[in-house]
A and B are shown apart, each in its own frame.
Chain A
Amino acid sequence: MAKIQLNGRKLELKNKHSILTLLKKYKINSKKIAVELNGKIVNQNKYKSAYLKDKDTIEVVHFIGGG
């Protein structure tokens, strides 16, 4: 079990998760976002192979309206 922080919220992951499976769990389209893991940007083709571990901090961002 890994305790992580996703977009500022604390989460407990019961199963082993990669970034891709975590995105799927939250129904997030992996093509419309960018991910930062512990302060470092993760390339889109690494989502599948990047596994989350205890105390990881993950930020998932997308575009919204702005001026």
Chain B
Amino acid sequence: MKKDIFKVGNQILKSRLIVGTGKYKSFKETAQAVKSSGADMVTVAVRRINILDKKKPLLTDFLDPKKIKYLPNTAGCFNSEEALRTLRLAREMGGWKMVKLEVLGDKKTLYPDMIETLKATKILVKEGFKVLVYCSDDPLLARELEHLGAAAIMPLASPIGSGLGIQNKINLSIIIQNSKVPIIVDAGIGTSSDATIAMEMGCDAVLVNSAIANSSNPILMAEAFKNSVTAGRQNFLAGRMKKLSYADPSSPFKGLI
């Protein structure tokens, strides 16, 4: 069998699980969960430094960007200008060209503002960024993002942090079928079986934060996700059996005594 390689942008990733680094109790727990997840890429946010607290630990002290790939995000940005500003600063910090674009449209649902998202994608691609785009699960808008040069399409499973799992399998499967760039389910995954379902459907990867960080044991849950993503991918590659309306015995009738 051909080796199963996951390539996004210009990067080859070993793991099809990308994890977020928010919501953990401490950076130590973040680092342990990331290690346990087997992920080789993590999302990070860009924020102001707290100038008054000089001893505050830094994420980079616990997760070395030389050892694990950072995927800077634009979480909290509500228009394309804010998102562009954030990602240009991220690029300045360490040359990150692969980024996660996320332009929010509403504080309650955190649904993406697709008009601003499309606008920002176009500019970022022009500036040489490899853009992984958080988006709605609309197949036409996903296709438009691909046309604009997005490196990966990241449709939501359900609202960010909701843990509701995949709410629109039909749309997601249309997006998977139509796309030539990787599809990474982002947002709304609640438990590791949700990740398996996404992978079984043919998604290329999943991005998970809250489901790990908000679980009772994030380090163990991270390992559960590692296994469930692998299982889902293997299931997809193996191809499931056909569904039948009636029984089909596993033991032959022939030779019955």
Give the interface of A toward B (CB within 8 A).
Answer: 6-9, 26-29, 32-36, 41, 43-44, 59-67
Is B23 a contact of A36 with CB atoms below 8 Å? no
Instruction: Using C-beta atoms within 8 Å of the partner chain, give the interface range for chain B.
Output: 35 or more
Is A26 a contact of B44 with CB atoms below 8 Å? no
Given A33-B49, A61-B47, A67-B160, 5 new contacts (CB under 8 A): A61-B48, A65-B45, A66-B45, A67-B207, A67-B209
Q: List 9 A-B contacts (CB under 8 A).
A: A7-B49, A7-B51, A33-B49, A41-B89, A63-B65, A64-B45, A65-B20, A66-B73, A66-B75
Q: A6: which B residues are within 8 A, CB to CB? A: 51
| Interchain CA distance A57-B248 in the complex, whole Å | 73
Is B88 a contact of A41 with CB atoms below 8 Å? yes
Give the top 3 A-B pairs by smallest Cβ distance, nearest first: A66-B45, A67-B20, A67-B209
Contact with A along B14-30 (1 / 0, CB 8 A): 00000011111001001
Give the interface of B toward A (CB within 8 A).
Answer: 20-24, 27, 30, 43-49, 51, 54, 58-60, 65, 70, 72-73, 75, 85, 88-90, 92-93, 160-161, 207, 209-210
- Give which listed residue, A7, A27, A41, A65, contacts B48 with CB less than 8 A: A7
| Interchain CA distance A48-B143 in the complex, whole Å | 46
Q: A29: which B residues are within 8 A, CB to CB? A: 58
| Interchain CA distance A60-B161 in the complex, whole Å | 28
Instruction: Please judge, given known A-B contacts A27-B54, A33-B49, whether A65 and B92 are in contact too, CB under 8 Å.
Output: no
Is A32 a contact of B60 with CB atoms below 8 Å? yes
Q: B59: which A residues are within 8 A, CB to CB? A: 62-65
Is B20 a contact of A66 with CB atoms below 8 Å? yes
Min CB distance A28 to B, Å, is 6
Min CB distance B169 to A, Å, is 23
- Give which listed residue, B89, B161, B210, contacts A34 with CB less than 8 A: B89
| Interchain CA distance A51-B207 in the complex, whole Å | 42
Is A67 a contact of B89 with CB atoms below 8 Å? no
